[in-house]
């Protein structure tokens, strides 16, 4: 096993140790020492290996992040309409033809159901968003794309809210 891979595997095992109770881990240790269960476990891991390799290929990184492009092209065989829509959206997002500002991108991500913060770098945020969209039904994607999104800020309103907060006043409802 390669040293880098071994380290990553050990970190993942450490996360599992932190996630499960001592009793659950003891049960796993007993199962792994039983020759029959050991063979079944090895068989299950070997059966998952082709899937793991496919996932690794889909997440390949490089110029322009071809990982998401590979994923979208693979989607073409399953759902061509959705794939074409997402490929077009991906291209327009990269070229800043749509959702040019970070605020608009975050707002759209929220409309699509992404909770929490997007990565700071636009390219990474787009990849997260596109990966999320591949799992959504086409009708929901079209619905989210049809909603109006504002990229401008109302500084007057923001100033009023900050002033209310600083001065301890209750904001007007």
Average pLDDT, the chain: 79
- Say what the pLDDT of residue 2 is: 58
Q: What percent of the chain has pLDDT over 90?
A: 16
- Say what the pLDDT of residue 85 is: 92
Residue-wise pLDDT for 87-144, tens only, equals 999 999 999 998 888 888 888 898 888 888 888 899 999 998 998 998 899 999 998 8
- Say what the pLDDT of residue 66 is: 57
Q: Is the dihedral of CA 71, 73, 77, 79 positive or negative?
A: positive
More reliable by pLDDT, 24 or 159: 24
More reliable by pLDDT, 19 or 126: 126
């Amino acid at each position: 096993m390669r040293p880098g891979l071994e380290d990553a595997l050990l970190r993942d095992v450490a996360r599992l140790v932190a996630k499960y109770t001592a009793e659950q881990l003891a049960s796993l240790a007993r199962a792994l020492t039983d020759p029959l269960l050991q063979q079944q476990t090895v068989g299950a891991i070997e059966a998952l290996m082709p899937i793991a390799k496919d996932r690794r290929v889909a997440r390949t990184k490089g110029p322009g992040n071809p990982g998401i492009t590979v994923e979208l092209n693979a989607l073409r065989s399953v759902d061509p309409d959705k794939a074409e829509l997402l490929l077009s959206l991906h291209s327009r997002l990269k070229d800043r033809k749509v959702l040019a500002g970070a605020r608009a991108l975050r707002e759209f991500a929220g409309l699509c159901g992404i909770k929490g913060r997007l990565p700071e770098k636009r390219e990474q945020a787009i990849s997260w968003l596109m990966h999320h969209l591949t799992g959504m039904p086409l009708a929901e994607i079209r619905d989210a794309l049809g909603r109006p999104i504002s990229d401008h800020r109302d500084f007057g309103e923001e100033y009023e809210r900050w002033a209310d907060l600083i001065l301890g006043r209750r904001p007007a409802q």
